Amino acid sequence: MQRSTHDPEIWKRGPAAKWVDPNDLVPWERNPRKNDPAVDDVARSIAKFGFGTPIVARKENNEIIAGHTRHKAALLIDYSPVPVRFLDLTENEAHALAIIDNQTNEIALWDEEVLNELVIELEEELADICGFDEELDFDEEPAEEDDVEACVEPEENTVLDKLNALIARSEQKSRQKKSWSKADHKALLEVADEMKAVI
C-alpha cells in the first residue's frame, strides 16, 4: 500500500471545513450515484442531529465531490449554512475521489448480530431515523435446507431460474432496507457452484 503524503502540519492552514450556503455549491452533473431514494432519510438525520460529516467540494469551482445526498437533504429542509471541506484537486482527481468514496461504502459489511442488538436497544424514533425497523430480519440459527429453497423459489429447477429469483430477492431486500440472511448467502453460493459446473 502506498504511503500517505499527508502533511501533519496541515492544521496550521486553517479550519478543516467552512460554513457555506448550500445554494452556492455545484452538484456534479455526471455523478453516477443515484441517491434520490436516500434523501428523505438523510434529511431526517440532519434535522435531528445536524451535520456529522461535511460535504467535500472542489476549491476551484465549488463542485461537490462527496456529499450529494447531504446537499440535497439540506436543500430539502432549508438547512443553511452547511459545513464544506474544500480540496484543491483537478477535475479528474475530484471525479476519481467521488467514485472511490461511493465504491468504498459498498465494500463495508454489517456485523448483523451486533447491528440487531443495537437497533433493538434504540428508541423507536431513533431506529426509524437510522433507517431500520426495531427488529431486523436476521437468522440467528443456521438455515435448514427447506429455508434455502424457500428463499430461491424457482418456477423451474434451473440455474437461471435460481439466479433470477435471487436477483429479485436482492432488490426486495434493498427496498425494505434489510440485509441478506444466512439462508440467502447459502443459496447464492449454491447457485455460484452450479454456474461454475455449467460453464
Q: What is the pLDDT of residues 50-64, one digit of tens each?
A: 998 999 999 999 999
* Close Cβ partners of 153 (under 8 Å, ≥ 6 residues apart): 165
Question: 115 or 127: which carries more pLDDT confidence?
Answer: 115
Q: What is the pLDDT of residues 8-44, one digit of tens each?
A: 776 666 788 999 999 999 999 999 888 899 999 999 9
Instruction: Say if CB 138 and CB 116 are below 8 A apart.
Output: yes
Sheet bearing 18-20, strands edge to edge? 18-20, 82-87, 55-58, 64-66
Return the higher-pLDDT residue of 67 and 182: 67
Q: What is the mean pLDDT of residues 115-143?
A: 61
HSE of 33 in the Cβ direction (CA atoms, 13 Å)? 23
Which cell goes with 31? Answer: 455523478
Name the one residue in this structure whose C-alpha cell is 434523501.
39
Say if residue 75's pLDDT is above 80.
yes
What's the mean pLDDT when you consider all of the chain? 76
Residues 151-182 pLDDT 10s: 444 444 565 666 667 667 666 666 665 665 65
Burial letters for 52-89: b for 16+ Cβ neighbours within 10 Å, e otherwise?
eebbbbbeeeebbbbbbbbbbbbbeeebeebbbbbeeb
Task: Record the pTM.
Answer: 0.60
pLDDT band per the 50, 70, 90 thresholds, residue 192: low
What are the structural domains, with CATH classification, of the chain?
10-107 (3.90.1530.10), 110-138 (no CATH), 139-199 (no CATH)
Over residues 90-119, the pLDDT tens digits come to: 999 999 999 888 777 777 777 888 877 887
Question: Contact, 168 vs 151, CB < 8 A?
Answer: no
Residue-level pLDDT at 150: 42
Alpha helices in 27-144 (DSSP H): 39-49, 68-76, 91-107, 112-121, 124-130
Among residues 139, 70, 68, the alpha carbon closest in space to that of 99 is found at 68
Task: Show Cβ contacts of residue 151 under 8 Å, excluding neighbours closer than 6 positions.
Answer: 143, 166, 169, 181, 183, 184, 187
